[in-house]
Amino acid sequence: MLPPALASLLAFHAPLSTLQREQGGATTLLTPGVNVLALNATYLPENRSGVDLETVRDWHEGQGQPVLVVGAAPVPNSQPVARLRLGLWHPGDGTGNEVVVEQLSRLHLGTWAGVLAGVYDTPEWAPALGRHLAARLEDERSYLPLLAYRSSVPVGALLWQARPEGGAALLWGAPDDEVGSALLDSAAGLGGEVQVALPNHSGLSLRESQELHFSLLEV
């Protein structure tokens, strides 16, 4: 069984992935041509006794993909790639924030993807990400893209997913905390509590946060 935070990350990204695979309690998502870590990783359960990591390695390599895994704790004999904190966002009052956030039509996912990729300094990935999400979201009506503007310039992007208990914002990017707060406040305003993923170096605060580790299995 996956830890709750990891299961939530999987529930957000699975509908957006191209391929899914189950093995020994682990779930693998694969999305060729898209550089989102959570769309190209094997999600590991807390009890890994039923997971054959060699089989996981062989499958990733057979697809021509890095052997990327994610779990609630670091995996022995692996190279750390990234850490996320998943928790609940507590909206602020927005006082003094000059950032404007708007809901975006799915027809403009190319623009959205361009902003997100730019935030992470990977603009070359934007066209493929935009095309992929446009195709996946055509039948996934529970997702809503948000775009943040500062002085009429788009600076941040967030993808919100509606859930029975509120929502989730587990794919997003902002150049600074002011833009990040504005995006997350807008996501929270869509209804109920919003679960958020933050890079470990972020200065924003979450309630009830749990840490997740992405790493590459060593050859």
One digit per residue, pLDDT tens: the chain, 219 residues? 899 999 999 999 999 999 999 988 899 999 999 999 999 999 999 988 889 999 999 999 999 999 999 999 988 889 999 999 999 998 875 555 789 999 998 889 999 999 999 999 999 999 999 999 999 999 898 999 999 999 999 999 999 999 998 999 999 999 999 999 999 999 999 988 999 999 878 889 999 999 999 999 975
Look up the pTM and report it. Answer: 0.94
Kindly report the backbone phi and psi dihedral angles of residue 4, in degrees, each rounded to the nearest multiple of 5, phi listed first: -55, -45
How do beta strands 19-23 and 26-30 pair?
Answer: antiparallel
Closest alpha carbon to 68 in 32, 33, 39: 39
- The residue whose two tokens read 């990327």 is 68
- Indicate the burial class of 70 (C-beta count within 10 angstroms; 0-12, 13-18, 19 or more): buried
Kindly provide the residue ranges of all beta strands, DSSP E only, lying in 17-67, ordered along the sequence: 19-23, 26-30, 42-43
**Residues 66/93, Cβ–Cβ less than 8 Å:** no
Q: In this predicted structure, what is the pLDDT of residue 166?
A: 92
Q: In this predicted structure, what is the pLDDT of residue 9?
A: 98
Q: Residue 181 to residues 34, 184, 196: CA-CA distances in angstroms?
A: 26, 5, 11
Q: Residue 33 to residues 63, 97, 127, 150: CA-CA distances in angstroms?
A: 12, 36, 10, 30
Q: In this predicted structure, what is the pLDDT of residue 203?
A: 85
Q: In this predicted structure, what is the pLDDT of residue 96?
A: 59
Kindly report the backbone phi and psi dihedral angles of residue 39, in degrees, each rounded to the nearest multiple of 5, phi listed first: -95, 0
